[in-house]
Amino acid sequence: MELMLTEWQTENLGLTVRVKETLFSGRSEFQEIVVVDTQEFGRMLVLDGVFQTSVFDEYIYHEMIAHVPLCTHPQPKHVLVIGGGDGGTVRETSKHPTVERVEMVEIDGMVVDACKQYLPETSEALRQNHSKVKLTIGDGIAHMRQANSLYDVIIVDCSDPIGPGEGLFTHAFYQDVFKALKPDGLFVQQTESPFYHQPLIKRLTKDIRSLFPICRTYLAPIPIYPGGAHCFTLGSKQYDPLNVTPRKLDFKTRCYNSELQKSCFVLPNFLQELLAGHN
Amino acid sequence: MELMLTEWQTENLGLTVRVKETLFSGRSEFQEIVVVDTQEFGRMLVLDGVFQTSVFDEYIYHEMIAHVPLCTHPQPKHVLVIGGGDGGTVRETSKHPTVERVEMVEIDGMVVDACKQYLPETSEALRQNHSKVKLTIGDGIAHMRQANSLYDVIIVDCSDPIGPGEGLFTHAFYQDVFKALKPDGLFVQQTESPFYHQPLIKRLTKDIRSLFPICRTYLAPIPIYPGGAHCFTLGSKQYDPLNVTPRKLDFKTRCYNSELQKSCFVLPNFLQELLAGHN
């Protein structure tokens, strides 16, 4: 028997992988959670039918969502990760020597448990109870609204803006993010595909620009996501990734490097034009 | 009835589009040629089941394969395009005011005819018999071996290294390219996916480095290709794209810009390491 799994990435575009084995399948209060072992991407987390992270390419996403904002900040100490249930973002964040504490607020405990069991490399920092990492299972939106500590960097490592991730793409949420950041703080969010989510990207860029003096978009190649390219949006109170001298990492990375830290912000014309329309 | 077309981009990875209509289907001496109209990508050329070019994203591929080498050269006059039967590369090349003559050698006349009929925007320069463009239906490998004029820039806009494109990825072909270039000439070739064709990329980079003093790899995001990211390899006798001040374009582009001209050469670590291994 040959099993195939297809994600309909848009209404008219499907990405299909051959499946070796379904390792986990469950339904939480929030979503359907599946971990499959695939021929092409190795083990992969799938939420409500959407490919989230795979052993094949997770390092690209996690290095780019963590190191780009963290190297823009001259001395990030207190970091908040919203979402990121697979643990890859806190794994990368906790590698920074300047970082003293990484709070992580993930809404779905079943995602964390499944990843700790079936994606051991990605969830390494969670499995090993990394001393810097403090995991809370809870609502990131509520946490942000009530945040009483101020963060240097906030990383919004969310799923798509349908289902539990929806409220993380709103003006109200960005206001709470702004308030929870120190006067020189900055945040980043994964903001979907430059090809397939242009109205969303336009809207959230407008929202972030209305609050933060600096708003920058960057790109990374991610094979499991629609179109293979993915956007990240950075809102900052003081440090501009285009102007700062980024801190250098003192540990090995598989994708990220200091030149990519700059070049990832260079956008093709069609994306520049999309964003310019909403200045 | 709902029609779907799936390209198996690797043995274990399929990309599926909904098809509105099959506009052309034929078998030439060389390959199966299909033009379909799709929901997601608009009209698309498919050769032997492989997605080649679509109205949705063709500008990215054609601008990046043409303008990056052409802007590296200070004054490209005589350009040779091998392959490129859809006409997109000669369309972009002929826009450069310095370019006086674009020779194009495409092996499969049926591809040209199908594209002239069904992909009118992409094939514009061929349809309108652009005064700079001289099209020859013939074997690019043989043409290169016998080339008696010397070119400033050669663009190898080929299909995959299976079928008619195979001989365009060999050391012997690169030797002929070297001989057909002026003492300050350069060439570029599409060189497949950084994720799925690593052994091929290693081999051809080694071959090109053994002949050309300068060899550089660059990337572009192309949704219809495997993994959504695509490599181009540039071999040059004199001008190094990392060091020259690129010429500015005086016409509008949808993807390419002067900053991308530099940033596209910044490679993620995994690709740097792949290529470094073959110095």
List chain B residues with CB under 8 Å of A5: none
Q: Which of B4, B16, B265 to mutate to test the interface with A (most CBs of A within 10 A)?
A: B16
Considering chain B, tell me which residue range(s) the CATH 3.40.50.150 domain(s) occupy: 58-276
Using CB atoms, pick whichever of A18, A221, A228 lies closest to residue B12: A18
Structure confidence at residue B277 (pLDDT): 63
Annotation marks residue B157 as catalytic = yes
CATH number given to B58-276: 3.40.50.150
The Cα–Cα gap between A123 and A129 comes to: 10
Q: Which residues does chain A have with pLDDT short of 70? A: 277-279
Structure confidence at residue B279 (pLDDT): 42
Considering chain B, tell me which residue range(s) the CATH 2.30.140.10 domain(s) occupy: 3-54
CB contact under 8 A, A269 and B255: yes
Catalytic residue (choose from B152, B157, B176, B207):
B157
Q: Answer for the pair B165, B32: CB distance below 8 angstroms, yes or no.
A: no
Q: pLDDT tens for residues A206-240?
A: 999 999 999 999 999 999 999 999 999 999 999 99
CB contact under 8 A, A253 and B269: yes
A window 186-205, beta carbon within 8 A of B: 194-195
Question: ipTM score here?
Answer: 0.95
A2 at B interface, C-beta within 8 A: no
Q: Answer for the pair A46, A34: CB distance below 8 angstroms, yes or no.
A: yes
Listed residue (B190, B153, B161, B174) closest to B79, CA to CA: B153
CATH H-level superfamily of B3-54: Spermidine synthase, tetramerisation domain (2.30.140.10)
C-beta atoms surrounding B113 within 10 Å: 18
Portion of chain A with pLDDT greater than 90, in percent: 93
Partnered with residue A22 across adjacent β-strands are A36
DSSP symbols for B209-275:
HHH-SEEEEEEEE-TTSGGGEEEEEEEESS--TTTS-PPPPSS--SS--HHHHHHTT---HHHHHHH
Using CB atoms, pick whichever of B6, B221, B263 lies closest to residue A229: B221
Catalytic residue (choose from A108, A113, A152, A157):
A157
Structure confidence at residue A161 (pLDDT): 86
List chain B residues with CB under 8 Å of A222: 228
Structure confidence at residue A86 (pLDDT): 98
Q: At what angle do helices B171-180 and B198-211 cross, to 10 degrees?
A: 40
Structure confidence at residue A277 (pLDDT): 63
List chain B residues with CB under 8 Å of A219: 221
Q: pLDDT tens for residues B97-154?
A: 999 999 999 999 999 999 999 999 999 999 999 999 999 999 999 999 998 779 999 9
Q: Which residues does chain B have with pLDDT short of 70? A: 277-279
Q: Answer for the pair B113, B28: CB distance below 8 angstroms, yes or no.
A: no
DSSP code for B97? T
Using CB atoms, pick whichever of B17, B222, B255 lies closest to residue A270: B255
Tell me whether residue B164 is annotated as binding: yes
Tell me the residue ranges of DSSP E strands in chain A: 3-10, 13-27, 32-38, 42-47, 50-54, 78-83, 101-106, 133-137, 151-157, 181-190, 214-221, 229-236
